[in-house]
A and B are shown apart, each in its own frame.
Chain A
Amino acid sequence: MRGPRASELAQLVGGGLEVVEAAPGSGLPPGLPIAQPQSEEQVSELLRLASQRRWRVDLRGGGTQPQWGPLGEPGDLVLATTALNQLVEHEPGDLICVAQAGMRLSDLQERISRTPGYRQRLMLDPPGGDGATLGGLVATRASGPLRTRYGHMRDLLLGARFVLADGTIAKTGGKVVKNVAGYDLDKLLVGSLGTLAVVVQVALRLHPQAEARASVLLEDVDAGTAAQFLVSLRTAPVVPSIVEVIWPDGVVLVQIDSTAEGAARQAEVAAGLNPRARILDLAEASYWEELLRSRPWERPGAVLGVSVPLTATRALLEFVEDQGALGEAVALSLRGTIGAGELRISSQVATLELVRETLEGWGGHTEIHRAPDELRGLGSSPRDPVAQDLIRRVKRALDPDDILEPGRISRTEPTSVAVVGTRG
């Protein structure tokens, strides 16, 4: 073993660094040290040491997405943000909160909801993501149905504190929504899969929860009808929180959050766009809400992030109906007014390649959200060689020895499609 032993590591870093060994069956090599720093200073000290000794460091948040993005090389130790789990600040009047990166999304939502006099949330709902940490959500940029109205982590992150591979502690952004001082390095961190820095603290924009909700379901429709419905919906006086195309099930779910009067009126408008659309009662609405909390992660198979031009929506839906090519467990959850979502297919090389080639042919792309290790290189990568070169240069500028999440961003000229990092 080229890396440190757990006991050795605990002694090398000051302040009593907590280090455990990976247990057999944890998915990690048994005995691999998992360091759980309790402060950004400990993170800094640990990384400085790792840089000096050329130990490669894998990062771990909630451990909910172990198969996301391109596969790197195995690290010599794991840095887990588990112990950095505190809410630092919730300022409801400013609609912001500041929290450590190891805080779980569900814990954050619960803490925020306890503030009296306000009903606010972080409007981020990645399916199956309750156990995800804020740092993990920055690294993967995972999102869910609410992206339709509120965007994803790129739109919600206001600032971050982070530690570079050499131990440099730095910050970017701030805790105000409007801020153009200095480079917007937040954007670089979001989706970087931990390859550039260890994020230790984040400032996030919150949104108020509306007083009322109404849901509309379009069902038993073909791809053409669904696509036409989405076109009408985009220009109708409706501002939905969720427009989820559930395919090949022939369903589009529209959720509206607003004032009681506004939600009711918008639901009428949305339901009026197609004879097969109808307003749901509370029980039906909760059934669908529950389904969205896990779909398409609830069954085995590869899960891809997919993105297509809006005009390719119908073609995408028809493509997804081909269970012969994509596997019988094929399931698409598409944010219908954005053209992005997640697609579950069978874990076969040919299937992943077919999806990527088809979507790229339409001007879209795919990224790996869950796939066996040997298939994790099969997402889209930037095609422009100058952009590829810039990515390598940025990586080298911040982590010259490729200590953090090694191998996920290639340090040399690409030899195949897979090695240039994808955004999570």
Chain B
Amino acid sequence: MASYAPPNVGALDQLVTALGAIVGSAWVLTRADDLRTYECDGLTGWRQPPLAVALPATTQEVARIVRLCHELAIPFVPRGSGTGLSGGALPHPEGIVIGLSRMRSILEVDVDNERVVVQPGVLNLDVTRAVEDKGYFYAPDPSSQRVCSIGGNVAENSGGAHCLKYGFTTNHVLAATLVLSDGRIAHLGSPCVDAPGLDLLGVVIGSEGTLGIVTEVTLRLLPKPEWVETLLAAFPSTDAAGQAVAAIIAHGVVPAAMEMMDRATIAAVESTMHAGYPDCGAALLVELDGPAADCRSLFQAVADLCRAAGATEVRVARDEAERALLWKGRRGAFSAMGRVSPDYYVQDGVVPRSHLAEVLAGIRDLEQRHGLRVANVFHAGDGNLHPLILYDRRAPGGPERARELAEDILGLCLDAGGSLTGEHGVGRDKMCQMPRLFSVADQEVMVRVRSAFDPDHLSNPDKVLPTPRLCGEHPGIYRPHPAELAGLAERV
């Protein structure tokens, strides 16, 4: 691993001047007040102000900034909207942040070829907004889609509630422009499918900014489904709801979304936002989309399977307003939790769906053992759990106990054959957990690939791939972002 010498004051002045010459001095931030906005992302437990923030407007400006960093051996951290939940945009103490929020143009809409070309700062939902009147949409829909950026989605390979059916960002990107850590510009992929050559784009997507900076992205669009059916089923327990999930899958249904909330989550949602959820042990939200006739016939089967698994109530949305109401509780679950508990940490583990029941039982045991409460809200269709560990950071040992519980939950997921992270990414937060899933050899292969793109490890260093220097420390503990408490940035 490279080490970086902190520049002295004179060198810092030179850097700031050089950055100003590239983007204009108004777009270089150095005052402590301005840097504070950039000292963390959505995972606010990790904080580190950068030396400076540069806000470029074009690919060429990004390339020139990066070339400057390369010459001076200064690490850089790309940042989109800063909504990430794994500290992926955490600044490096000896580096700068390259913020892409000014690169917010939709460059081309080509509905006839079912694609759009966008800059990385474009917000996820704005892609769909730009094409929905023509009958199209952009499928990946992380719950932060009103505020998160496409560049960030590419870095994290974001999914969303509907990824069980529609896949992840990697399934919807045709091409990207990548600025390498030496300032060269690579064009990866192709506007048509099956680009020739090794699929480097596939590795860049989900690499969390460690292989370079994506400055332009060609996305695939999909025709909007004709019909959507949404139901909410109330069950006495998460076990019963889990049986319904298994039965739906066994029946051969692939819902567009299938979300579960346990009693603690439902109670928090009801006490804060009054979505009108039934009082029950578990709620299952199931959404089907597609041609109307198919949707209706499968939907009937799903409702019957829920009842057979013990559902005490099945509510069906009759219109878009009712659908929005059913989703309201799910989408607002995280921010609701922030209001009923002084602090919470959200875990992002994945279990094979067939192990859901045993892992949930294991989480209940862990609650007892650690003396902390855990609320569960998760993507039941793909086994992506989001246990919310409720704690009080002012209580003695509060954060430490929460962290231990979070790590134990991850252990349950991995023992069941699952994964460290389903969608929030490894970032800084889970970097030191990587050895729990990947052998030294596995990690070494990733380092080789990383070094092929970025030999000096200047692009978002100290993320994803564990370093001996850093991995004795404790992972960060979550504190909600003020914007999130205001309901702007609910989390998946």
A→B interface (CB under 8 Å): 91-96, 117-119, 141, 151, 154-155, 164, 168-172, 174-188, 190-192, 195-196, 207-211, 231, 234-235, 237-239, 258-266, 269, 305, 307-311, 338-340, 363-365, 367, 379-382, 384, 386-388, 390-391, 393-398, 409, 420-423
**Would you call A192 and B198 a contact (CB within 8 A)?**
yes
19 A-B pairs whose Cβ atoms sit less than 8 Å apart in the complex: A93-B352, A94-B353, A141-B194, A164-B445, A171-B439, A171-B442, A176-B417, A179-B421, A180-B157, A181-B421, A182-B443, A186-B202, A211-B252, A258-B294, A259-B297, A259-B298, A260-B297, A390-B186, A421-B197
The segment from B53-61, B118-126, B446-454 found at the interface with A is B446-454
A367 to B196 CA separation, bound complex (whole angstroms)? 7
Interface string of B295-327 (1 = CB under 8 A from A): 111100000000000000000000000000000
- Distance (Å) between the CB of B353 and the closest chain A CB? 5
In the complex, which of the residues A185, A380, A422, A423 contacts B445, with contact meaning CB atoms closer than 8 Å?
A185
Q: Which of B159, B421, B434, B442 has the most CB of A within 10 A?
A: B442
A290, chain B: closest CB distance, angstroms: 25
> Among A154, A180, A239, A307, which residue has its beta carbon within 8 angstroms of that of B422?
A180
Kindly identify, within residues 125 to 174 of chain B, every residue whose CB is under 8 Å from any CB belonging to chain A: 135, 156-157, 159, 163-164, 167-168, 170-171
Instruction: Please tell me if the beta carbons of B419 and A174 are within 8 angstroms of each other in the complex.
Output: yes
Given known contacts A172-B442, A184-B206, A210 and B384 CB-to-CB distance under 8 angstroms: no
* 15 further A-B pairs in the complex, CB-CB below 8 A; given A176-B351, A187-B199, A187-B202: A91-B354, A93-B353, A95-B353, A170-B442, A170-B445, A178-B168, A179-B421, A183-B449, A188-B203, A211-B252, A259-B298, A262-B297, A365-B190, A386-B180, A387-B188
Q: Which residue of A lies closest to B246 (CB)?
A: A93
Q: Would you call B422 and A261 a contact (CB within 8 A)?
A: no
**B197 and A387 contact, CB distance less than 8 A:** yes
Instruction: Given A237-B227, A265-B294, A339-B192, verify A154-B198 contact (CB < 8 Å).
Output: no
Enumerate chain B residues within 8 angstroms of A94, measured Cβ to Cβ: 352-354, 383
Task: Name the B residues within 8 Å of A95 (CB-CB).
Answer: 249, 353
Given the complex, which residues of B lie within 8 Å of A384, measured CB to CB? 186-188
Q: Is the CB of A398 within 8 A of B445?
A: yes
Contact of A266 among B191, B196, B294, B420 (CB under 8 A): B294
A387–B419 contact, CB under 8 A? no
Q: Which residues of chain B are near A151, meaning CB under 8 Å?
A: 167, 171
Compute how far the CA of A396 lies from the CA of B202 in the bound complex, rounded to whole angstroms.
18
> Which residues of A lie under 8 Å from residue B486 when comparing CB positions?
none
Binds A, one of B21-29, B258-266, B285-293, B392-400: B285-293
Residues of B within 8 A of A174 (CB): 350, 417-419, 437
A16 to chain B, nearest CB (A): 25
Check B192 against A309 for contact (C-beta < 8 Å). yes
How distant is B226 from chain A, measured CB to nearest CB, in Å? 4
The chain B residue sitting closest to A190, CB to CB, is B199
Is B108 located at the chain interface by the 8 A CB criterion?
A: no
Complex: A386 Cα to B452 Cα, angstroms: 12
Interface size class of B (residues with CB under 8 A): 35 or more
Chain A residue contacts of B292, Cβ below 8 A? 237, 265
Residues of A within 8 A of B297 (CB): 259-262
State the CA gap A391–B242 with chains docked (Å): 45
Name the residue in B164, B246, B294, B354 with the highest tally of chain A Cβ atoms < 10 Å from its Cβ.
B294
Q: In the assembled complex, how far is the CB of residue A119 from the closest CB belonging to chain B, in whole angstroms?
A: 6
CA distance A179 to B291 in the complex (A): 29
Bound-state Cα–Cα, A181 to B423, Å? 9
CB of A20 to closest CB in B, whole Å: 30
Contact: A382 with B197, CB < 8 Å? Answer: yes
Q: How long is the Cα–Cα vector from A208 to B250 in the complex, in angstroms?
A: 8
Q: Which residues of A contact B452 (CB under 8 A)?
A: 390, 393-394, 396-397
Q: Does B207 contact A (CB under 8 A)?
A: yes
Inside 8 A of B441's CB, which chain A residues have their CB?
168-170
Are A235 and B190 in contact, with the CB atoms below 8 A? no
B113 within 8 A of A: yes
B191 touches A363 (CB 8 A): yes
Which residues on the B side are within 8 Å of A164 (C-beta)?
445
Complex CA gap A384/B207 in Å reads 21
Cβ–Cβ contact A365 & B350, under 8 A: no
Evaluate contact between A307 and B445: CB separation under 8 angstroms.
no
B195 at the interface (CB under 8 A from A): yes
Taking a contact as CB atoms under 8 Å apart, the answer to whether B422 and A262 are in contact is: no
Per the bound structure, the CA–CA distance linking A178 and B163 in Å amounts to: 8
- C-beta contact mask, B336-376 vs A, less than 8 Å → 1, else 0? 00000000000000111110000000000000000000000
Asked if B205 contacts A184 (CB within 8 A), the reply is yes
Instruction: Give chain A residues whose Cβ lies under 8 Å from the Cβ of B379.
Output: 178
B426 cross-chain contacts in A, Cβ below 8 A:
180-182
| A388 pairs with B197, CB closer than 8 A | yes
Q: How far is the CB of A403 from chain B (nearest CB, A)?
A: 15
Partner of B434, one of A182, A237, A239, A397: A182
Q: A93-B250, A391-B197 are in contact. Are A187 and B203 (CB under 8 A)?
A: yes
Q: How close is B372's CB to chain A, nearest CB, in angstroms?
A: 25
Report whether B451 and A183 are in contact in the complex, using a CB–CB cutoff of 8 Å.
no
Task: Please indicate the chain B residues that have their CB under 8 angstroms from the CB of A91 in the complex.
Answer: 352, 354
> A210: shortest Cβ distance to chain B, in Å?
7
Closest CB in chain B relative to A169 CB, distance in Å: 6
State in angstroms the CA–CA spacing of A344 and B351 once bound together: 45
- Contact of B252 (CB < 8 Å), options: A209, A269, A367: A209
Given contacts A188-B449, A259-B297, contact A238 B291 (CB under 8 A): yes
**In the complex, chain A residues whose CB is within 8 Å of the CB of B227:** 237
Q: How far is the CA of A195 from the CA of B227 in the complex (A)?
A: 45
Given contacts A207-B254, A211-B252, A261-B293, contact A181 B434 (CB under 8 A): yes
Chain B contacts for A310, CB-based, 8 A: 112-114
Query: What A residues does B418 contact at CB under 8 A?
Result: 174, 176
Contact A394 B290 (CB under 8 A): no
Query: A181-B419, A238-B291 are contacts. A423–B195 as well, Cβ < 8 Å?
Result: yes
For the complex formed, measure the closest distance between the CB of A43 and the CB atoms of chain B, giving whole angstroms.
Answer: 14
Interfacial chain A residues near B223, Cβ < 8 Å? 234-235
Given that A169-B441, A238-B291 are known contacts, is A190 also in contact with B202, CB under 8 Å in the complex? yes
In the complex, the answer to whether B442 meets A182 with C-beta atoms within 8 Å is: yes
Complex: A123 Cα to B145 Cα, angstroms? 31
Is A235 a contact partner of B200 (Cβ separation < 8 A)? no
* With contact pairs A188-B449, A262-B291 given, residues A170 and B194 touching in the complex (Cβ less than 8 Å): no
Q: Tell whether, in the assembled complex, residue A185 and residue B354 are in contact, meaning their CB atoms are under 8 Å apart.
A: no
Q: Which of A183, A260, A339 contacts B450 (CB 8 A)?
A: A183
B464-A386 in contact (CB<8A): no
B193 x A208 contact (CB < 8 A): no
CA A359 – CA B385 in complex, angstroms?
45
- Min CB–CB distance B485 → chain A (angstroms): 26
Instruction: Decide yes or no: A235 and B135 within 8 Å by CB, A188-B198, A190-B202, A381-B197 being known contacts.
Output: yes
A195 to B199, CA, bound (A): 13
